Structure 1
Amino acid sequence: MGGPRRADDASSGADAPGQQIPSPDFLALGLGATNMMAMLWSVAMGRRAVGVEMRGEPALGVHWNIREDVYHQLGLIDRMMLDTYGEAGIPRLADGRLFRLAETFYSPKTSGGNVAADEIVSSLVTDLHLVGAIEHLEFIDDRWVDGKPNRVIIRNDPPALPPEPDASKIRDDINAVLDGPSTFQTAASELLRLLRRYLEKIEEMDLARGLARPRVRLFLNHRVVEAEDDGFLDCGDGRKRIRIEQVRELDFRGRFARRRVPGTEIIDLGVPELFVVAEGFYSSDAERLGFEQHDVLVDHDDGRGPVVAQADYLAAFVEVLVDGRLRRRISSVFDDDGTEYWVRQLAVGHENDPEVGWILVQVPDFRTFDPVEEGVLPAGTDPNSPEYFATYQQLLYEYFIDQAAEILELPKAELAKIRMDYGPKLFSLVERIGDDARLAVNGVVAGDSFGNGHFLTSGGANTGMVGHSARVLRYWQDRDAGIHPEQAIRTLADAIKRDSEAWLNVSAVEFSQASPINFGAERIQEIADANGISVDARAATVDSSRRVRHSLLTLDYSDWRRLFVRGGRLHADQLPPLHPLHPAARDAEDAADTDANAEMGGTGALAR
């Protein structure tokens, strides 16, 4: 299945000293999910792949909700690897079994639970697979109706678990993928480690055999040379020759910095037939090659016309047993003038793992957490003082506890006693996208580096893994069919853009409408019928230019390696059942009972 080979073109471009690597067929700059899946597709198609990653080991701490397509894609990669190389060319687990990606990801023969990818690869654990199944899909609509608190609870049946990988179930339409239900949940870092270990084992076995051209080469703690005109060298025909350098990471005054390791040589990777830049929300490499993103605008139908698609959230990792659950909530909050805003909360867990409770709560547009404005500190307090910052952080924490308690149905006092490994961290989600994914004659940009939409259903992870990476597979299929590289890469770039636009299209409703992604038209109408709020109703919003925050930043993934732990206990009990009443209605009912109890001389509580 390998197809015709192109002669290496390592001699193109300027001469430079340093180590010389034969030009790969595929070069991945950034080893997130998008590019590692693209490397796997490339190797399965008989190509040689090189990966470059600046951060070393995967450290992304978030939990992903994964569509079924990923499982089927991994199964197809397993089958293609076997067809291309035979069993002798497949990596093995520590106990000698073939390393099958789909089987270690999920299998009906094993169970989900608290497990690390390295435990599976080392055969320390043989009865668990990596991901957890989603067993509970819950949507809570706590928006007020006619000036009163109202609650509508919708429970969806979880999708049936696939009995085996089936390539015919891999969807090409990303709209359909994202608007469909999630099947699995997994720690992002563990899925990334699973893919990384597979690639590492291919590299190890090929180097051990003494192959001059191993199928995989990985350069971790490396980056494209930053010196001007030394990293991306023009070959004269629009193609880029790429050189990298080894870097050391430093924690410099509270921020991570990277410097070239003294005494190391530049590594010349030659001229890949195809390179893909996928390095996260912001890519300096793509920017160096002329790539630019622009803000995405959404029209909220409020008379202001299109405005920047932006929402602010607090994220925290709490050791509470959310279990195999995806719970979403939308609720009403009111500013001082009585204007109603809609905010969302999200709780994500992992099957049989009490240490995984990712909670995200949206911050209403009118909240600033300014200690002076909120009357906690006196006017004139220095905003740069420790007292001001500590009070600001406490206001964030108290708001988070209030909102998280309502989605978890736990008392605030109890939630405050539970260990928190990360957060609450304030960040802004701002949708951005580029105009063209093509960076050079032989290069494109993909993943979040090209564009990003709303994250509430792990849209970026699924768009990158299911969509963008599979477009690299199609590129090699086109090349094997005799299509010229110029046409094949144009098709690839256009497909990446369509996938990202689909993500933006599906996620647009998350900024102003109540309709949740991947609930389907019937369920959305059911919600509208139950609470009487039109499907097309829009939330009040504030133009992003008028927002006031102390930290309007994208989520910094470096934070996962600099955790601030709030000590506490592990909540290993099941969550309480969802209460049929809105929290505010419960408060009103309790207040009425208290008044009645006082009037009846203390018998009211007994009567109830």
Structure 2
Amino acid sequence: MASQQGNQLPLEQEHDLRGVLDPDFLALGLGGTNMMGMLWSIAMGRRAVGVEMRGEPSLGVHWNIREDMFHQLGLIDQMMVERYGEDGVPRLGNGKLFKLAECFYSPHTIAGQISADEVVTSFEERMHVSGTIQHIEFIDDRWKGGAPHRTITVTPPPPAPAVPDASRIREDLAEVLDGPSTFQTAASELLRLWRRYLEKLEEMDLARGMENPRVRLFLNHRVITEEGDGFLDEPDGRKRIRIEEVQELDYRGKFVRMRQPGTEPIEIGVPELFVVAQGFYSSDAERLGFEQHDVLIDHQDGRGEVVAQADFLAGFCEVLVDGRLRRRISTEFDEDGNEYWVRQIAVGHENDPEVGWILIQVPDFEKFDPIAEGIVPPETDTNSPEYFAGYQQLLYNCFIKHAAAVLELSEDELDEIQMDYGPKLFSLVERMGDDAQLAANGVVAGDSFGNGHFLTSGGANAGVIGHSARILRYWQDRDKDIPAEEAIRTLADSIKRDTEAWLAVSASEFSQFAPINFGAERIHQIAESSGIDVTGRAHMIDASRRFRHSLVTLDYSDWRRLFIRGGRLHTAPLPPLHPLHPDARTSCSEQMEPAQTA
């Protein structure tokens, strides 16, 4: 006893492992793709285990969601009641059935500054998580005939469905992505809604003493990372999986994870199906031999195929964008007079003044070099705080300039508004694997398999609506006595087809002006209104010629380490869209006129 004093490790933690061994479905990563996959699996009568190392959902982005997801949630609600009865479905705080579709959206409840936990625990039937898109606006500020020119197209938003309708779930993901978005939602709140449903299922099954609960969750865990452990080979090519509890540390500015002291590995066994869906990069998939490669596209500008890449500044401002999807495309010129098209997007949330999610495409020729811009002396060390401060100021200036233009606010006004995140520079590079199958019993899905253009919310829709529904089809095939090896081959091929559809639809976002998540019909209206050929393309620089700093994919860990620029909350509606291009306005006192409507 005395020898352990002062150095004693925590006692091994006891885990209730009922229903964990050899589950039907194992989700490695609890983002949208895998949580929807778990819900489909449970609705089909299977046992599901979920493993996530980040704990609570924290992804801060806003998603533009197609209506198919609402219908899918309604179908899950229906299947759950049909299979388990009302006594086998979780309840809300007011005692009513926990219906995913109604908590996401209902015409009889309201949207606004509402969290998923409020919806789930509230005793008042008055709130839902998502917001509807009420304004769809496209601003074409590309120069025309050597002069600044503006065309504004305002199109009617798609009507939100009153009730879920399974017959309106589309099988072809290309058709889904070609259609307009109907809902806007904070990614973290939608993820939290799914998480609470799964948690309540687990809680009720354990409380009833079920030997095999329908769902088990491990929320601070990962597959063991040591070589020769974690993923273990079975003679038939399947994988046996072991996980460990992890402790997360913010160590010298980086998140570091290590096994929780005093804990032992947890045996998951051999799942019939496991899915790795852990974001843009998955070390688990990589350990299983999976590789992504850059996607090449031909912009028809004479350079042949180049890497599909674009660089963006992301910022989250406390400004009432409201239930709005506003896209802007504008012209920038380099020092040689070459024309470049850059895009900006403003996404809000119905009735919520704290949600102003702004994405700004950076012109390809922009370097953000404080020495070249004369902000710091030529002899300044590029590793010095002075150089970095100048670089950060250039990022901020670029963001404010373009964000003000898309919001129709002055730069001075925007500078006084609180910014909760950013501006953060990141690079979007389209990447995809060759085969989604990782093992005889495992696949990779979601962004971990492939990712397309950020502005379209294509990742959320491809994973949540597309890939997860293929998991439903897998269980339907198995119920038809289709062998597991054949069903998983079909699943992997379907995941790849969905991702290819996303990449094909989003390819135009790199060089053409059409905003794909407006829908094909609206794109046609915009093209007619602007008078510019929908197939027209802008000059672009090969990705290899860019000269920038910190060009990485957007790091989801950043959402738990925010840097806030203090300022005001802008609760007033955005100003009307000005009829003139910003470069053509001669006086700040010009009278505003109604926007042109196509």
Superposed, which structure 2 residues align to 1:164-563 within 5 Å?
Answer: 164-563=163-562
1:160 aligns with 2:159: yes
* Cα drift, residue 19 of structure 1: 8.8
* Cα drift, residue 534 of structure 1: 2.1
The 1:123/1:389 distance shift into structure 2, 3 A limit, reads same
CA contact (8 A) 1:119 1:125 kept: no
1:83 aligns with 2:86: no
Q: Deviations over 1:383-427 (max 9, x none)?
A: 111111011101100110010000000011111000000000000
Who is 1:580 aligned against? 579
Give the match's secondary structure for 2:248: strand
Q: Deviations over 1:239-283 (max 9, x none)?
A: 000000000000011010100011101000000000000000000
Who is 1:126 aligned against? 125
| Distance (whole Å) between structure 2 residues aligned to residue 91 and residue 518 of structure 1 | 34
> What is the letter of the counterpart of residue 381 of structure 1?
T
Who is 1:28 aligned against? 27
TM-score after normalising by structure 1: 0.93
1:590 aligns with 2:579: no
Q: Deviations over 1:190-237 (max 9, x none)?
A: 000000000000000011111111000000110000011110000111
| Distance (whole Å) between structure 1 residues aligned to residue 125 and residue 507 of structure 2 | 42
The 1:211/1:551 distance shift into structure 2, 3 A limit, reads same
> What is the letter of the counterpart of residue 553 of structure 1?
V
| Distance (whole Å) between structure 2 residues aligned to residue 370 and residue 69 of structure 1 | 45
| Distance (whole Å) between structure 2 residues aligned to residue 252 and residue 476 of structure 1 | 43
| Distance (whole Å) between structure 2 residues aligned to residue 127 and residue 428 of structure 1 | 40
Q: Deviations over 1:468-526 (max 9, x none)?
A: 00000000000001100010000000000000000000000000011110344554344
Who is 2:4 aligned against? none
Runs of 4+ in 1 over 3 A off after TM superposition: 18-21, 518-532
Who is 2:7 aligned against? none
> What is the letter of the counterpart of residue 111 of structure 1?
I
CA contact (8 A) 1:405 1:415 kept: yes
Q: Percent identity?
A: 73
| Distance (whole Å) between structure 2 residues aligned to residue 119 and residue 76 of structure 1 | 23
Q: Deviations over 1:112-152 (max 9, x none)?
A: 11100001111155311110010000011000001100111
* Cα drift, residue 530 of structure 1: 3.7
Superposed, which structure 2 residues align to 1:8-157 within 5 Å?
Answer: 21-123=20-122, 125-157=124-156
> What is the letter of the counterpart of residue 56 of structure 2?
E
CA contact (8 A) 1:299 1:305 kept: yes
CA contact (8 A) 2:180 2:519 kept: no
CA contact (8 A) 1:22 1:213 kept: no
CA contact (8 A) 2:69 2:465 kept: yes
| Distance (whole Å) between structure 2 residues aligned to residue 469 and residue 382 of structure 1 | 50
* Cα drift, residue 529 of structure 1: 3.8
CA contact (8 A) 2:138 2:526 kept: no
CA contact (8 A) 1:138 1:328 kept: yes
The 1:522/1:102 distance shift into structure 2, 3 A limit, reads closer
> What is the letter of the counterpart of residue 239 of structure 1?
R
Number of corresponding residues: 575
| Distance (whole Å) between structure 2 residues aligned to residue 313 and residue 234 of structure 1 | 42
| Distance (whole Å) between structure 2 residues aligned to residue 157 and residue 527 of structure 1 | 12
| Distance (whole Å) between structure 1 residues aligned to residue 166 and residue 77 of structure 2 | 11
Q: What 5-or-longer segments of structure 1 have no aligned partner?
A: 1-17, 594-608
* Cα drift, residue 533 of structure 1: 2.5
| Distance (whole Å) between structure 2 residues aligned to residue 32 and residue 189 of structure 1 | 9
CA contact (8 A) 2:436 2:495 kept: yes
> What is the letter of the counterpart of residue 579 of structure 1?
H
CA contact (8 A) 1:19 1:266 kept: no
Q: What 5-or-longer segments of structure 2 have no aligned partner?
A: 1-14, 591-598
* Cα drift, residue 96 of structure 1: 1.0
| Distance (whole Å) between structure 1 residues aligned to residue 123 and residue 328 of structure 2 | 39
CA contact (8 A) 1:29 1:51 kept: yes
CA contact (8 A) 1:67 1:182 kept: yes
Give the match's secondary structure for 2:587: helix
| Distance (whole Å) between structure 2 residues aligned to residue 520 and residue 281 of structure 1 | 26
Who is 1:604 aligned against? none
TM-score after normalising by structure 2: 0.94
| Distance (whole Å) between structure 2 residues aligned to residue 92 and residue 530 of structure 1 | 50
* Cα drift, residue 431 of structure 1: 0.2
* Cα drift, residue 591 of structure 1: 9.5
RMSD: 1.5
Q: Deviations over 1:141-177 (max 9, x none)?
A: 0000011001111111111111101000001111011
